[in-house]
Amino acid sequence: MIIYEGPSLLNGDPIVAIATGMVTPSTNRKTGPMIQTWILAQNEAPHTAVKSGNDAAVCGDCPARGKWCYVTTFQGPRSIWESWKRGGYPLFSSDSFAGKPVRFGAYGDPAAVPFEVWDAIGFQASMVTGYTHQWKTCDPLHKHYCMASVDTEAEALEARDRGWRTFRLGTKSRRDEVICPASEEGGKKLTCMECGACNGTSQGRKSHIVIEAHGAKTKRFEEWISSQPESIT
């Protein structure tokens, strides 16, 4: 389902946001069967947009972009973009999300899309999760549904001072941080859908979440963070 077509709030380029799993639930083992939303540049397939730099429309200044991002853009995002180009998705209806769990941004940053779009979905959904690396510059209303995605403790403290709950990539170092229970180090105790903690400030939760880097590109993250003056690893 197409939930937004228009200019990116990050740089003005045309983007499209699409929800999948409306009929056939996602098989993502970490998130559970949540509706997944994908934010894609209109003018170029995701896997080539990463190489050309056109992914800035949907990823902004995320430090993981083109480095340690875990999303394999030539697979799911590419297939969804190609289906959209063929006219394979219906138009937005917020009622379609009633009582269903939704993940904001399986690929792409939710801050590229107007908050009103997410709010219409969040109002209907049974629960949502979301993350944004654009917490310094985006509409602060996004903190209602999204966690501030941070990569250092200094960033985490700054985001919290601005009223965000944080989701930090790294190792646990603070009492107010909880290890992601869907992660390997968290024992894979719960799926994201079962946990539901990464929902910004919408449910009044106070804890912040931390997860260790994972996947084939972990070394790239470790090299990057070791070069940061505020690194805590």
- Extract the tokens encoding 74: 């030539």
pLDDT of residue 230: 57
The residues, ordered by sequence, that sit 6+ positions from 166 with a Cβ below 8 Å of its Cβ are 147, 148, 149, 150, 155, 156, 159, 160, 208, 209
**pLDDT (tens digit per residue) in 181-220:** 999 999 999 999 999 999 999 999 999 999 998 877 788 8
Q: What is the mean pLDDT of the chain?
A: 93
Q: What percent of the chain has pLDDT over 90?
A: 80
pTM of the model: 0.92
- Sort strands 101-107 and 35-41 into parallel, antiparallel or unpaired: parallel
**pLDDT (tens digit per residue) in 34-73:** 999 999 999 999 999 999 999 999 999 999 998 889 899 9
Instruction: Examine the pLDDT at 147 and tell me if it is beyond 60.
Output: yes
pLDDT of residue 232: 42
Q: What is the dihedral of CA 85, 88, 92, 93, to 10 degrees?
A: 180
Place of tokens 């990823």: 59
Residue 68 CA to residue 55 CA, distance in Å, equals 14
pLDDT of residue 171: 86
pLDDT of residue 45: 98
Instruction: Examine the pLDDT at 231 and tell me if it is beyond 70.
Output: no
